[in-house]
Amino acid sequence: MWPRRHARFDRFVLRMESEECGHARRRLIENGTDRHVKTVAYVLNEFPVLSETFIGNEIRAMAKRGHRIVPIVLHRPRTAGQPDDRLLANEAVYLDAVPGHLVAAGALTGLPFGRRRLLAAAGFLRAQTSLDRRQLFGDAMKIAAIAARHRCSHVHAHFADAATSAAIVAARWMGRKVSFVCHGREIYTSPQDLALKLESADFVVSVSADLTRDLINVTPLPLIATIPYATDPTYFHTRYDVEDNGRLLFIGGHLNVHKGLDDLICALELLAPRRLMLDVVGDGPYRPYLEQLSDIKAPGMVRFLGSRPMEWIKQHGPDYLGLVGPFKVAADGSRDTGPIVVKEAMAMGLPVVASRFMGLKETVTDETGFMYEPGDIEQLAAAIRRLVDLPTAQRRAMGEAGRQRVIAHFTLDAQAEALSDLIETM
């Protein structure tokens, strides 16, 4: 029990005993497979973020498996997230709303675990160089207080940034297991004490095989499990009963250079006599340049729709001829390590044209789409031409093969099962 003077803290803590989680637990009991599932603190730097749907998807899938999830967020979002994620955000604990005196309460959680645990936390705190130690310690103690209040037995973070640092210090201080998901930018563009974080975790999740290889090259010490981004195929539907709208679709979320939209626009220029039409879903500071480029290279062929919620993609995505995913490495090294949008398109029954890039090589096959070497605009144009020239029946067969591949290999249920098994065996 918390002391009475901490009663106002209840306004800030998460109550994740949702109906979905409760139903999942009851189903486990009814099916004769009742088992203890851990309560997991999810430590996030910012949430929700419109283009980071994979975090909310993972939380909901883990809750469906019966886990009680306690999202703890360091910073409030700068923009609105997806509607489903905003519902989760209403239940999250934001550290700026947590009373400062809980730093002391968090510090008390380490006392039962003795000097060894405290030295592990203090050792990380001293060794890391990317964050102010006082701020990191304060955030970690708040996380420890929240996690202790909810009896969390595992601490899990996304992105190897400040959230992971705080999660490691909090977990070690409390004597809990800790893990995090590495998404790529932490190694390719802005590494922050990455080797230290890898070696301090009980296990690390990588979202693609190539990323796993590169992380092992940093340090082979932790268990690094490859668990690709996944989607829920039951959320999407196909539309084979009507003719497609004849347009190509690009979904970029945040329009960064590594999304490859500039290559796609240049490929449309090579295909100009065909007058292929492209709709672009996404936004960001790079958009004005891309609009200018499309006016020069492919005038009248590109329509920028801005950001769209997942409900819009679900409703209108199946209308398109196919999706193009021209991902590549940007000059600064940034990249998408496992673009989930390709799996979502496949779940909608769309054939895809995609670069032979990390996270895509293990997703797209000859039966589900056409691939090309990243950055090769002529190959990209040729792949688009091959897709467009397919008879309607063959395009639909390719789209259906893609949907079946997602069902077989890339479902959220399978992703959550793999992560849950790792957490439960720690």
Q: For the segment 358-372, what is each residue's pLDDT rounded down to a tens digit? A: 999 999 999 999 999
pLDDT given at position 352: 98
> At residue 24, does pLDDT exceed 90?
no
> At residue 325, does pLDDT exceed 90?
yes
Q: Which fold has domain 247-409?
A: Rossmann fold (3.40.50)
> At residue 378, does pLDDT exceed 70?
yes
Which pLDDT tens digit goes with each residue over 294-320? 999 999 999 999 999 999 999 999 999
Structural domain spans, the chain: 4-230+411-425, 247-409
* Angstrom distances, CA of residue 93 to CA of 89, 176, 299: 8, 19, 47
The pLDDT-based confidence of 36 (bands split at 50, 70, 90) is low
Angle, helices 133-149/162-174, rounded to nearest 10 degrees = 60
Q: For the chain, give the mean pLDDT.
A: 89
CB of 414 closer than 8 Å to CB of 357: no
pTM for the full predicted model: 0.88
Least confident of 12-21, 281-290, 370-379: 12-21
For residues 152-174, give the mean pLDDT: 96
For residues 91-104, give the mean pLDDT: 88
Separation CA 39–CA 402 (nearest Å) = 35
For residues 80-105, give the mean pLDDT: 88
Top-confidence residue, 118 or 225: 225
pLDDT given at position 104: 83
Q: Which fold has domain 4-230+411-425?
A: Rossmann fold (3.40.50)
The percent of residues in the chain predicted with pLDDT above 70, rounded, is 90
For residues 277-293, give the mean pLDDT: 96
Answer whether 4-230+411-425 and 247-409 agree in fold: yes
pLDDT given at position 113: 57
pLDDT given at position 114: 60
For residues 28-41, give the mean pLDDT: 63
pLDDT given at position 87: 87
> At residue 164, does pLDDT exceed 70?
yes
CB of 402 closer than 8 Å to CB of 368: yes
Which pLDDT tens digit goes with each residue over 106-150? 787 766 656 677 888 999 999 999 999 999 999 999 999 999 999
pLDDT given at position 17: 35
78 contacts: CB under 8 Å, gap ≥ 6:
46
